[in-house]
Amino acid sequence: MRSFSEFDPVAVTVWFFAVIGVAMFCGHPLIMAVSLAGAVLFFTVRNGTRHGRSHLFFALLFAVLALANPLISHNGETVLFVLNDRPVTLEALLYGVNSAAMIVGVLYWFRSFTQIMTSEKILCVAGTLSPKLALVLSMALRAVPMFARRARQVSDAQKAMGLYSEDNIIDDVRGRMRVFSIISTWALENGIITADSMTARGYGTGRRTQLRRFRFTAADGVFTAVTLGLLGVVAAAVATDSLAFEFYPRIDISVTGALGICGVIAYGALVLLPIFIETEVSLRWKYLQSKV
Amino acid sequence: MLSLALVPIRAAGYGYTADEVDDLIGGILAYKLDESGADDVQEWIDGYLSKKAGVMSEWYIIALSQDGVRDMGSYERALKDYIGSNKINSATTREKYALALCAAGSSDSYIADILDDSIGATGIMSRIYGLHILNNGYTCNNYTAESVADELLSMQYNDGGWALFGEYGDIDVTAMTIQALAPYYDERGDVHSAIDRGLELLSRRQMDDGGYQSFGTPNPESSAQVLVALSALGIDCCEDSRFIKDGNTIIDSMLTYRLADGGYCHVAGGDFNETATIQAMYSFVAYKRMLEGEGSLYVIDDRQPVSAPVQTTAAAQTSIVTSAQTGTSAVTTAVPHSSASAKATTVSAASAVTSATTSAGTGTAATSASGTESHISSSVKLPTASTSAATSAAVISSAADEGGKGGGYKPIAIIVIIGAGALLSVLLLALGKRSYKNFIFVGAAVAAGVVIVLVTDIRSAKDYYGSASEKSNAVGTVTMEIRCDTVLGKSDADYIPEDGIILPVTAFDIEAGDTVYDVLTDAAQTYGIQIDARGGSKSMIYVAGINYIYEFDFGDLSGWVYHVNGISPSRNSGDYVLEDGDVIEWLYTCELGHDLNEVYEE
């Protein structure tokens, strides 16, 4: 029995694309709620209580995104208050909460995606199709974690040079801006150097062969089939307009059909699939340990 | 064409006997019974009318109760259920339900409880219906029958009439005001003379066929209201020479709208119309009561004796916020209708106003009404429980300090921000982070917060909508209308008015430098029309949506455009400075203006 991250990259990719695709292209609040809750749950199941401060950042991002919409859109019947002659409505606020749930949920899915899908796996999935695409993808996906590492290095170097001796907010902000400026310069340069370096080594000049460490087993096949089946139910609900929902001018859930509810349940099952696998594996692992 | 059956029921002279009027009422009842499949009136009340309680039954119930039908138990329960499970935002609708409960013989406290919050909430109609309830002996804390009657007297125009807005009396509203004031005709001298002036207007405006027209359209509803008003005063419209023109009486004119099956139509030759039919029915009931020497239609015979009002519970139920609001809203919301800033001018707009007036009269508010008071009540919901504590604090202070003008929360907000800054500074001191730059940062943050508070203006929906902005230095008058004719039939959304008129032609005062966008904002504020404008500065305004109809809702080339004096300006609406007499139209286009006969600016 393998944990979810050890499944075949193709199966994992198909599952991620199904989950993220539905979250991005179906705006139904129930789907958004399932997506956000599932994404946060999946991330914490895999990482435990680490990354505490990043959760705080995403909570803040959620609040900002949710509150921005009612300031921009003034559609909706229930006027909460009037700001500079423009009505701020409950419907626009709820719409903002919905969009924020979508964005933050998808961001969380991608955090898990970059953790599970290492460069090696991405090259394995996309490398045979298009080496260039695979290279760009793996470079893009490793960019952010690499920036964070690099920023820490630069910041440490600056500290060692005595540039953060003043302990106050203004100098702190200025110091961070300097670090940001340094790493963005470095990132631009690094991108070109990496590309040049890969070309110099002959990457993409001929057909690429690769050593596959992964094997598409029967379990992978079953997992992919279940994923596609559940995705099919959601797609059918979307295609028949059963997953419709109206925010403006007033909240109307009555347009959501019975098939839509089936779609939400199917999406919930899809999201929980790897969490089941992970829990099952860890329970079995503890059980085996206890026997030793 | 429909064949109009003019039933020859006239006996002798001009008059009608009580039996003949009873036949007319019976004709309408027979039609309605047939329509709903009920066998007799009681079955109709227990079945169809109870099922439709809160939706359309109320005026039938009042008419039937006053016509001597007694058992309304199942309807009363149905209406109570409806009231219990629905949030009723419109003041006139609440008052209509209270009257219907009263007519159904209910002793529910709802009838008296709603008065304080409803009277004066949406202009003259809420006062008229409120006075009807007070006339039945119910009482409330803030108003008495005398005070409401005084307010109605002060709303009379120079021509002797009353209206929802404008400078000239409207037949329907004048008649309805007289109905409410009728019980004081003999008691109070000022009411007596005011009603006499109103009657003069009604007599003067009567047409040669005995009927009335409202804003250029002859219709039976206006006649019905006049008939109810005259009957309430004990005047027999078929005997009084003031109301007989060329030998034709009001009832004669109404019968020309009678259809073969007993129903009534709204315009001559038209189809069955529910509003016309019910108004005809209760006006005949009122006339019959007058012939039989009984009282006004709206003083219910069958009402329960009124117990002493339970004032303490009513006060306990309303929170501090709402009681603070009602005090000011009574003053502010009266402004748009009593001030002469708005008047309907052309015929096309006038027909829209007619439909609004009549629908307010029957209480089916907000079905086709556009731009009038019933519209306000339907489109602006008050701050609900979901409003944050900060907002309700703002509501309290704005209502208390500046009487609904807003901005009263600002000193408090600034003090809170400065206090937070001071607290943060103390915290920094205590934590030993005493670099002077920390305090510069806190100071800058506090200053930014104060600037934001100063440039923003937060008001509660209740304070904002329905209060007209004051124009002390008016330099002229412009008219504006908002229409969406091009989308009619393309969507069944309930917020699209049936006639495509969101705001009928309405006059607005302008000050020097006022732009098209300023007038649009005025209209939105005064009549509670939803507007979604984007862009920060005035010359960057983009009107994305009006009345929930948005750009791109009807194709890639759809959206709102404006015309001034029939010409499409190539300027931003926030840049177009108006002159006296300009005619503004806001129109929805589905074809980038090609469906609007556009003439472009030189």
Residue B42 counted as domain residue: no
Q: Are B171 and B209 in contact (CB under 8 A)?
A: no
What is the span of the domain harbouring residue A148?
Answer: 139-209
| B540-591 pLDDT per residue, tens | 899 999 999 999 999 899 999 999 998 999 889 999 999 999 999 999 999 8
Domain count, chain A: 2
- Gap between the Cα atoms of B409 and B400, Å rounded: 10
Rounded to an integer, the average pLDDT of B221-241 is 87
Q: Averaging pLDDT over each range in A129-143, A210-224, B158-172, B474-488, which range is the top one?
A: B474-488
What is the span of the domain harbouring residue B453?
Answer: 389-461
**Whether residues B473 and B453 fall in one domain:** no
Cβ <8 Å between A86 and B533: yes
**Whether residues B452 and B544 fall in one domain:** no
Chain B residues close to A169, C-beta within 8 Å: 437-438, 441
- Which of A75, A169, A171 to mutate against chain B (most B CBs within 10 Å)? A169
Residue B350: which CATH number? 1.50.10.20
Residue A257 counted as domain residue: yes
Nearest to B381 among A79, A86, A170 (CB): A79
Q: Are A151 and A175 in contact (CB under 8 A)?
A: no
- Gap between the Cα atoms of B219 and B488, Å rounded: 24
**Whether residues B476 and B456 fall in one domain:** no
∠ CA B547-B337-A82, nearest 5°, is 45
Domain count, chain B: 3
Residue A134 counted as domain residue: no
Taking each helix axis from N to C end, the angle separating A90-116 and A9-25, rounded to the nearest 10 degrees, works out to: 170
The residue in chain A having the minimum alpha-carbon distance to the alpha carbon of residue B378 is A77
Helix (H, G, I), strand (E, B) or coil at A163: coil
The residue in chain B having the minimum alpha-carbon distance to the alpha carbon of residue A77 is B379
Rounded to an integer, the average pLDDT of A107-132 is 86
Q: Hey, what amino acid is at B591?
A: E
Kindly report the backbone phi and psi dihedral angles of residue B600, in degrees, each rounded to the nearest multiple of 5, phi listed first.
-90, 155
Q: Are A180 and A158 in contact (CB under 8 A)?
A: no
Residue B508: which CATH number? 2.170.130.30
**Whether residues B564 and B526 fall in one domain:** yes
Residue A133 counted as domain residue: no
Q: What is the pLDDT of residue B600?
A: 80
Q: What is the pLDDT of residue B346?
A: 34
- Gap between the Cα atoms of B283 and B288, Å rounded: 9
Residue B163 counted as domain residue: yes
| B463-519 pLDDT per residue, tens | 888 776 677 788 889 999 999 999 988 888 888 988 889 999 999 989 988 999 999
CB of B538 less than 8 A from some CB of A: no
**Whether residues A74 and A167 fall in one domain:** no
**Whether residues A271 and A163 fall in one domain:** no
**Whether residues A164 and A261 fall in one domain:** no
**Whether residues B496 and B554 fall in one domain:** yes
**Whether residues B410 and B559 fall in one domain:** no
**Whether residues A106 and A243 fall in one domain:** yes
**Whether residues A20 and A165 fall in one domain:** no
- Gap between the Cα atoms of A221 and B192, Å rounded: 92
Kindly report the backbone phi and psi dihedral angles of residue B479, in degrees, each rounded to the nearest multiple of 5, phi listed first.
-115, 150
The residue in chain B having the minimum alpha-carbon distance to the alpha carbon of residue A169 is B438
Which pairs from A127-131 meet CB under 8 Å and 24+ separation?
Answer: A127/A208, A127/A210, A128/A208, A128/A210, A131/A203, A131/A204, A131/A208
CB of B304 less than 8 A from some CB of A: no
Cβ <8 Å between A81 and B459: yes
**Whether residues B183 and B237 fall in one domain:** yes
Nearest to A80 among B383, B433, B530 (CB): B383
Beta bridge partners of B506: B344, B480
Rounded to an integer, the average pLDDT of A208-229 is 87
Nearest to A171 among B386, B437, B457 (CB): B437
**Whether residues A100 and A161 fall in one domain:** no
The residue in chain A having the minimum alpha-carbon distance to the alpha carbon of residue B459 is A82
A86-89 and B549-550 beta bridge pairing: unpaired
Residue A279 counted as domain residue: yes
Rounded to an integer, the average pLDDT of B217-225 is 86
Beta bridge partners of B459: A82
Domain boundary among A209, A232, A267: A209
Cβ <8 Å between A77 and B531: no
Confidence tier at A88 by pLDDT (50, 70, 90) = very high
**Whether residues A201 and A270 fall in one domain:** no
The residue in chain B having the minimum alpha-carbon distance to the alpha carbon of residue A85 is B521
Cβ <8 Å between B386 and A74: no
Q: What is the pLDDT of residue B271?
A: 80
Cβ <8 Å between A79 and B380: yes
Closest C-alpha among B507, B486, B413, B424 to residue B454: B413
**Whether residues A11 and A55 fall in one domain:** yes
Rounded to an integer, the average pLDDT of B367-382 is 36
**Whether residues B219 and B356 fall in one domain:** yes
Residue A275 counted as domain residue: yes
**Whether residues B401 and B549 fall in one domain:** no
Q: What is the pLDDT of residue A33?
A: 96
Q: Judge whether residue A96 has pLDDT over 70.
A: yes
**Whether residues A117 and A248 fall in one domain:** yes
**Whether residues A118 and A8 fall in one domain:** yes
Q: What percent of chain A has pLDDT over 70?
A: 98
Comparison of pLDDT for A159 and A167, the residue scoring more:
A159
Residue A132 distance to chain B (closest CA, Å): 37
**Whether residues B285 and B426 fall in one domain:** no
**Whether residues B448 and B475 fall in one domain:** no
Confidence tier at A36 by pLDDT (50, 70, 90) = very high
Q: Output the CA torsion sign for A125, A131, A135, A141.
A: negative
**Whether residues B454 and B509 fall in one domain:** no
Residue B120 counted as domain residue: no
**Whether residues A280 and A157 fall in one domain:** no
Residue A145 counted as domain residue: yes
Q: How far is CA B210 from CA B111, B198, B206, B219, B224, in A?
A: 37, 17, 6, 11, 12
Domain boundary among A162, A189, A209: A209
**Whether residues A114 and A228 fall in one domain:** yes
